[in-house]
Amino acid sequence: MSTVISSEQALRSAVRSALVAPSIFNTQPWRWQLDPPRARLYADRSRQLLVADPTGRLLTISCGVALHHARTVLAATGQIADVARLPDPADRDLLAELTVEGCAEPQLEQLLAAGAIQRRRTDRRPFSPRPVPEAACRTLARAAGRQGAHALALDRDRVPLFALTAVRASLMELADPDYRAELADWTHRPPWSGDGVDTGSSVRAVARRVPVRDYAPFGGPTLPAGPEDDRGARYLLIYTDTDLPGDWIRAGEALSAVLLSAVSAGLATAPISDVTELSATRDELRELLPRPGCPQIAVRIGYPPDGTPPPTARRLPEEVVELPPC
């Protein structure tokens, strides 16, 4: 009986921690169903971006991040969990099932990663000129590799091409009235919604080595950009060998591993999805890969300026998590 109670408590803690995972436009497109010793992760298609993410690829990546967050917390609390990805071919919304199967002493790396979950915030401010060491990039790439995806740290001479791709993505998307309407919807959410990207967490557009998505093209309060221009930042491109829903989940898990490892190393992070939202720019990114592959998402990593970015809105657990009947 004590094992059942322990696994239920561990699953509740894991799922609650997963609710702070980053997601495309902060849509938080997931649902959790607790059925101890199991927790099931579902895609919430009602929160899919129909313009920026018509295939649901980035929705699935977002859910993969949440899955890895939950796995990380379970491991840190001494739980051995089996993971079944896409366990039911008849239910495409059931993305994963976690089953607690035993106990084990948590490793230091797992404890550090779990501790980083609550500290991690997407930081859209330009990072300091202090360069990110190559050793740190290798560590982050290994973290992604353990999740079944790849993370490529772009060499300095490849960053200009990446920057041009980001510029092209921005111009093409902002030229689309449907995209502008979708952007306006998710950056001007009602206060009670607990989702979206408030313009107050974005940064006024300034010159950078690689431009970032403008979340306030229609006006609104923004964070001051400060004097930096991301000179010390590094850019990691997460990619997979194939481009199926299972790969998207793995890419999300790899993104989570990279983000948490970066936070543990004292680095700030900001996912970059706009460069992969259009087939044309996504194809351009393939030219940066060392082998055939499918770009899924990028990450900007660097040492943060002074201060802390504001927290991101979050939905209430009772809106997202279905608990077992009493």
Q: Residue 284 gets which letter from DSSP? A: H
Q: Where are the strands (E) in the chain, listed by range?
A: 30-35, 38-43, 79-85, 94-103, 150-153, 234-240, 268-272, 294-302, 321-322
Q: What are phi and psi of 132, to 5 degrees?
A: -80, 125
Length of the chain: 326
pLDDT at 59 over 50: yes
Whole-structure pTM value: 0.96
For residue 2, what pLDDT band results from cuts at 50, 70 and 90?
A: very low
**What is the dihedral sign for C-alpha 129, 309, 122, 71?**
positive
- What region, left, alpha or beta, does residue 321 occupy, with left being phi > 0 and alpha being psi -120 to 50 degrees? beta
For residue 154, what pLDDT band results from cuts at 50, 70 and 90?
A: very high
Q: Rounded mean pLDDT of the chain?
A: 94
Point out which residues pair with 302 in neighbouring strands. 268
Q: Which of 97, 1, 22, 78 is CA-nearest to residue 271?
A: 22
Residues whose CB falls within 8 Å of the CB of residue 133, separated by 6 or more in sequence, listed in order: none
- The residue assigned the tokens 């989570």 is 256
Over pLDDT 70: what percentage of the chain?
Answer: 98
- Tens-place pLDDT, residues 167-188: 999 999 999 999 999 999 999 9
**What is the dihedral sign for C-alpha 130, 133, 134, 136?**
negative
Q: Write down all domains in the chain, each with its CATH number in brackets.
A: 2-120 (3.40.109.10), 134-302 (3.40.109.10)
Q: Which burial class, exposed, middle or buried, applies to 125 when counting CB atoms under 10 A from its CB (0-12, 13-18, 19+)?
A: buried
Q: Residue 183 gets which letter from DSSP? A: H
Rounded (10°) CA dihedral 326, 6, 23, 182? 0
